[in-house]
Structure 1
Amino acid sequence: MRSALIVLALSVLALPAFAQERTIEMRDALVNLARVLGESHALRQACEGSDDQYWRARMTRLAETEQAEPELEQEMKDGFNAGVAETKRLYPACGDSTRRAQGLAAARGREIALGLSQAKYRVITVLPPQSEQDVTAQPSTR
């Protein structure tokens, strides 16, 4: 069940045709997810060192997968960078509070990702011109 949700989330996010159909809530969720990734990046670097790029790589993959229009992509990048900056200020070194903050960020990230995986996209059906709609596989008997 859990892997099915992950596959569904990734497949939904990977469909650029739906990218223009995001609701305001979905856009906000993506920006919030990017911010949580930034927080996670800063927290992990506090404990693992500044060379660690685990969460930055995930942010890059999210941006690639989303194929968002330039405005949303910039908002996501800004959210990530804001999350990094604020968290580095609050947690400059690794300690018990940093580890607790990592767990809280992970929980928020899971919650946002779950919400995105259950998002409803509006599907647009394109019908052929009226003249082609009456065509059948068998000729009519006249």
Structure 2
Amino acid sequence: MLLAGPTLALAQDRPPAARQSLLELAWVLGQSHALTQACTPEDQTWRARMTRLIAVETPDQAFEARLAEQFNAGFAAARQSFPTCQPASKAEAAKVAKRGQELSAALSRTP
């Protein structure tokens, strides 16, 4: 008997709205990475999650580059706004995490 697991979504096969959500999620992961590193510079959690997102989505080269650009832009934006660990950066991290959860949940329901 042959058992098959769930089919993984390929980024390029997703509808345009889902592709846009993937780009927004990459931005959010970049923000999360910067906000976490403001308090714990050695933490690579969010960079690892971005790497996992790319591995799971298996985007074509052009879309992978766009995802990386969004991650880096989100990182730069958060680093500029919150360069050091402070209560405001922790509050922003919680807000960004909530948005990331919303995007992830929506993407998990999209083919």
Query: What number of residue pairs does the alignment pair up?
Result: 106
Residue 109 to residue 93, structure 1, CA distance change in 2 (3 Å): same
Q: How does 1:96-115 map to 2 (within 5 A)?
A: 96-115=87-106
The CA deviation at 1:20 is 3.8
Instruction: Check the 8 A contact 2:31/2:96 in 1, yes or no.
Output: yes
The CA deviation at 1:54 is 1.0
Listed one character per residue, the Cα deviations across residues 41-87 of structure 1 (whole Å, up to 9, x for unaligned) are 000000112x2211101101111111011111111100000000111
Q: How does 1:1-142 map to 2 (within 5 A)?
A: 11=6, 15=8, 18-49=10-41, 51-119=42-110, 121=111
SS at match of 2:83: coil
Gaps of 5+ in 2: 1-5
- Where relative contact order (Cα < 8 A, 6+ residues apart) is larger, the structure is 2
Greater gyration radius? 1
The CA deviation at 1:19 is 4.1
Q: TM-score, normalised by structure 1?
A: 0.71
Gaps of 5+ in 1: 1-10, 122-142
SS at match of 1:68: coil
In percent, how many aligned pairs have the same letter? 41
Q: TM-score, normalised by structure 2?
A: 0.89
User: Which one-letter code corresponds to 1:118 in the other structure?
Assistant: R
Instruction: Check the 8 A contact 2:54/2:64 in 1, yes or no.
Output: yes
